[in-house]
Amino acid sequence: MGYDFVLGGESHTVHPIHEPEGPNLRIDGQPLRAELVPGLARGEFFLEVDGRRERLFLASEGDVHFVHWRGRTHRVEAINALERARRAASAAGGTEVLRAPMPGTVVEVATRAGEDVVAGALLMTIESMKLQTAITSPRDARVAEVFVSPGATFDQGAELVRLESAEDEGEADPGDPGKGGQPG
Amino acid sequence: MMRRMESRIDPHSAAFERFREANLARVGEFRRRQQEARFERPQRDLDRLAHHGKNFVRDRIEQILDPGTPFLELSSLAANSEYEGQSRSASVVTGIGIVSGREVMIRADDPSIKAGAWYPLTVKKNVRCLDIAIENRLPVVHMCDSAGGFLPLQAEMFADRTSAGRIFRNQSILSKMGVPQLSLVFGHCTAGGAYIPSLSDYAVILRGNGGIFLGGPPLVKAATGEIVDADTLGGADVHTQVSGVADYAANSEEEAILLGREIVAQWSRPEKTTIEMREPEPPLHDPAELYGIIPDDIKIQFDMREVIARIVDGSYFHEYQPDYGKTLVCGYAYVWGHKVGILGNNGVLFNDSSLKGAHFIELCDKNRTPLVFLQNITGFMVGREYEAQGICKDGAKFIMTQSGASVPKFTIMINGSFGAGNYGMCGRAYDGRFIFSWPNHQIGIMGAEQAANTLADVKIRQLERAGQKLSEEDVRAIREPVIESYAIESSAYYATSHLWDDGIIDPVDTRNALGVAISASLGAPIEEPGYGVLRL
C-alpha cells in the first residue's frame, strides 16, 4: 500500500519497494533510487537521486510537508491510498439516513430541514440509559428531513435525520418518515 | 500501515471551553492533592528526619534513578480518604523507574510519617507492588525504613490471604522465578519487616541508622530481660560480619545508594517478549485538547475516538468493524511504538457491541497484541427486548474472552465505570497489568442517582407497608444522605485511596503512563491463548 503525494495540484503515487540494491521507490510506476540524508541544521536534508545530490529543508505538519528547494517552497500533501479511495467513494454523496444508535428520548433538535451543515455539526441530542449523546453530521451535507421532535421516544435503529448532498437542489423527497420515527 | 484519525471537535466552541475549564480545575485539584501527599509534612516530622541524618524518601528515589529517565509513580494518592489523611501515599512510595539501565520496581518506606509505620493500606500497596513485580518479572529495589505495623490497626493487616504475610510470600515467589531483589536498609526493619532484606538477594545496611531484628530492644527486654542497644542487636556490623543477614555495610545514605546502583548493574538483562513495534511518534492531535473533550457532566456522552486520537502514535488507528456494534470502538494502534488493540466505550454495551468486543479480544490474543481498555461505561443494556436477545449470554462471552485473554491488558478509567460494564472492560478483578484513572473518573455498582432512587424506593415501600405515609420532605431526607455518601464513595479519590487502580494520572500523561506500563509488561512471556466455554 502506498501514498499519493499531491504537489502543485497534481497527484503522484509512490510505492516503497524493497530491493537490497537498485531502486527503492516506484513513482507513478517509474523505479527510482533516492536517499534522504539528514544534515546538521534543523530541517536540513540532502536528497540523493540517481547520483545527484540536492540540499533541501523540510517542515511537516501532520501529512502536509513543506519542501524548501532551490529558493522555492513546495507544498506536498501525503494522502494514504486507502483514504483517497474512501474519499472518492464518499464524494459521490447522495442521501444518508442517520439512525438511533440505541433506544431513547430526544432532548434537543439543533437543526432543521434545509440547513447546510459541516462535518461534526450537532444535529440533535438524545438521552438513553441516563446518558446524553450528540448526533452529529458525519460529513458536509444538507439536512433533508428531521424525523423526530423534542420529547419523542424512539427504538434502536429508528430514523432520526436524513442528509443529502449540499449541491443537490434539495427537491422534496418525502421518503418514509413514519417508519420508526414517532411524532412527539 | 494505518490511516490518520480525523478529529470532529471544535476547539472554539462554547462547550469545549466549558469542559476545558472544568477539567483544568479537576486536574488542578489532583495536582494540589498529589503535591500535598508527596511533600507536605508537619515541621516536627521533618525536623526529626533531619536530626537522624535521614534523607526524604523522594530524594532517596531520585538519587538511585538514572538521571533524566522517567519514573512512573504508582498510587500516589493511596490512603487519601482513610486514617484522617495522615498516611500520605499510604506511607510508602512505589513506582517503575530505570536504575543502571534496568527497568525496576522501587518500593520505598516513608519514615517521615509515624516513623514509616505500616497501615493496612500500606500493606495493600506493598502487596500490589510485588504482584506487579511478579506479573511483569520486574526486579525490585526496596528502601527499608519502617517502624513496623501500626499496632492500633494490626487486626486489619496481619492474618488474611492478602495481608502482610503476602509481602514475604511474593518476595519468595519472585526469587523462585529468578527475579532479583535488592534491599537498602536505611532505618529499622523490625519484626516482619526484618524479612524484607532477609528475603532479598542483596542487602546493603547503613551503619548507625540501619537495623534488622525480629524483636527490637524494648521487646527483647520485655521477653527475656536482656538489655541491649539496637546497634549491638541488629546493626550493620553484626549483620555484615557475623550473622550474614546483610551483605554490605555503608557509612552514608549516598554510599548505600551508589553501592545499590553498582549491585543492580550486575544483574543480567533478560530478553523482552517481542510484539509488533515501530518507531514512536507523538499523536498528531494535541493531547491537551482532551481537557475540552471530556464533558463536565458524566451524563453527557463523547466520542472515544477523540480520546484515542490523542493517546496513540501519530493519531494512526485501524478501526475494526466500524459499522457494527458501534457503542464499542475497537481497533489497532501504536503507543510509544508498541502495537496494541484498543477497546473504548461509546455508549452502553448491546448484544452486538459485546460480541464485537469478544471477537476483537480473540483476534488480539491470537495475534499476540496487548489490549488497552478505555472505560466510559454505564453498563449493559437492559429491557425485555435485550433479555430476549440474550444480553446476559453475550455479556458473558465478552467477560469470558476478556478474562481468558493471555496478552497483557491495560485499563484507563477515562470517565464512568458502572455495573458489569466495569467487569467486561477489564476492571480491577480481571488482573490487567495496570489500571490508571483520570481525576473525573466515577465508579460504582450503578450511578449515584439510580442508587439513591433504588434505595429510597425500597425504604419508602417498607415504611408504607408499615402503614406510614411519607411527605416529600421525608423522601428527600432519605435520598440526600444516600446521594452524598454515594458521591464520595464513587469518586476517583476514594477508588485510588483503596487501590482499586494504580493511581490517578493527568489525562495528558496517559500515553506516557501506558508507554512505561506496556514496556514493563514485556518482561514476562505471553502464555498460549486458551478460553473457557462460550455460551453460544
Inter-chain residue contact B301 with A129, CB threshold 8 Å: no
User: What percentage of chain B reaches a pLDDT higher than 90?
Assistant: 87
Residue A62 has pLDDT above 70, yes or no: yes
Domain A91-164 in this protein, CATH class: mainly beta
Per residue in B129-148, pLDDT (tens digit) is 999 999 999 999 999 999 88
The pLDDT value recorded for residue B464 is 84
CB-based contact (8 Å) between B31 and chain A? no
CA atoms of A91 and B92, how far apart (whole Å): 59
Q: Which fold has domain A3-81?
A: Glycoprotein, Type 4 Pilin (3.30.700)
Residue B428 has pLDDT above 80, yes or no: yes
Mean pLDDT of chain B: 95
Say if CB B410 and CB B364 are below 8 A apart: no
Give chain A positions within 8 Å (CB) of B297.
Answer: 132
CA atoms of B134 and B203, how far apart (whole Å): 20
Say if CB B190 and CB B231 are below 8 A apart: no
The pLDDT value recorded for residue B313 is 98
Cβ contacts from A onto B, under 8 A:
52
The pLDDT value recorded for residue A182 is 35
Encoded amino acid at B131, one letter: D
Residue A3 has pLDDT above 90, yes or no: no
Nearest CA in chain B to A100: B326
Residue B267 has pLDDT above 60, yes or no: yes
Per residue in B78-94, pLDDT (tens digit) is 999 999 999 999 999 99
Asked whether the ipTM of the predicted complex exceeds the cut of 0.85, the reply is: no
Burial environment of residue A172 by CB neighbours within 10 A (0 to 12, 13 to 18, 19 or more): exposed
Give chain B positions within 8 Å (CB) of A128.
Answer: 347-348
Nearest CA in chain B to A137: B8
Residue A96 pairs with which residues in a beta bridge? A163
Alpha-helix runs per DSSP H in A56-99: 81-91
Mean pLDDT of chain A: 83
Alpha-helix runs per DSSP H in B405-491: 420-424, 448-465, 472-489
Domain boundaries, chain A: 3-81, 91-164
Instruction: Give the phi and the psi of residue A156 in degrees, each rounded to 5.
Output: -60, 135
Instruction: Give the phi and the psi of residue B496 in degrees, each rounded to 5.
Output: -75, -30
Residue A19 has pLDDT above 90, yes or no: no
Q: Could you give the C-alpha distances from B281 to B56, B71, B508, in angstroms and in order?
A: 36, 20, 15
CA atoms of B511 and B509, how far apart (whole Å): 6
The pLDDT value recorded for residue B320 is 98
Nearest CA in chain A to B302: A133
Query: Bigger pLDDT: B410 or B468?
Result: B410
CA atoms of B108 and B89, how far apart (whole Å): 11
Q: Residue A20 carries which DSSP code?
A: S
Burial environment of residue B97 by CB neighbours within 10 A (0 to 12, 13 to 18, 19 or more): buried
Inter-chain residue contact B8 with A120, CB threshold 8 Å: yes
Per residue in B331-366, pLDDT (tens digit) is 999 999 999 999 999 999 999 999 999 999 999 999
Band of the pLDDT at B171, cuts 50, 70, 90? very high
Residue B234 has pLDDT above 90, yes or no: yes
CA atoms of B148 and B161, how far apart (whole Å): 19
Burial environment of residue B452 by CB neighbours within 10 A (0 to 12, 13 to 18, 19 or more): buried
Residue A61 pairs with which residues in a beta bridge? A64
The pLDDT value recorded for residue A184 is 31
Which of A62, A80, A119 is opposite residue B284, by nearest beta carbon? A62
The SS3 assignment for B369 reads coil
Residue with cell 451524563: B299
Distance from CA of A102 to the nearest CA of B (A): 8
Q: What are B238's three cell numbers?
A: 553484626
CA atoms of B57 and B39, how far apart (whole Å): 10
Encoded amino acid at B418, one letter: F
**Residue A126: closest CA among A65, A67, A181, A54:** A181
Give chain B positions within 8 Å (CB) of A62.
Answer: 4, 284
- Strands laid side by side in the A159-164 sheet: A96-99, A159-164, A141-146, A116-117
Inter-chain residue contact B381 with A131, CB threshold 8 Å: no
The pLDDT value recorded for residue A81 is 81
| Averaged pLDDT for residues A87-110 | 82
Per residue in A116-140, pLDDT (tens digit) is 998 888 899 999 877 888 898 888 8
CA atoms of B336 and B45, how far apart (whole Å): 41
**Residue B118: closest CA among B140, B89, B139:** B89
**Residue B372: closest CA among B348, B351, B341:** B341
The SS3 assignment for A87 reads helix
**Residue B86: closest CA among B58, B113, B66:** B113
Write the CB contacts of B126 (distance below 8 Å, at least 6 apart in sequence).
B92, B94, B107, B118, B164, B167
- Strands laid side by side in the A34-38 sheet: A30-32, A25-27, A10-16, A3-7, A72-80, A64-69, A52-61, A44-49, A34-38
Give chain A positions within 8 Å (CB) of B299.
Answer: 127, 130-132
This prediction has a pTM of 0.90
Say if CB B141 and CB B171 are below 8 A apart: no
Tell me how crowded residue B165 is: count the other CB atoms within 10 A of its CB.
17
The SS3 assignment for A62 reads coil
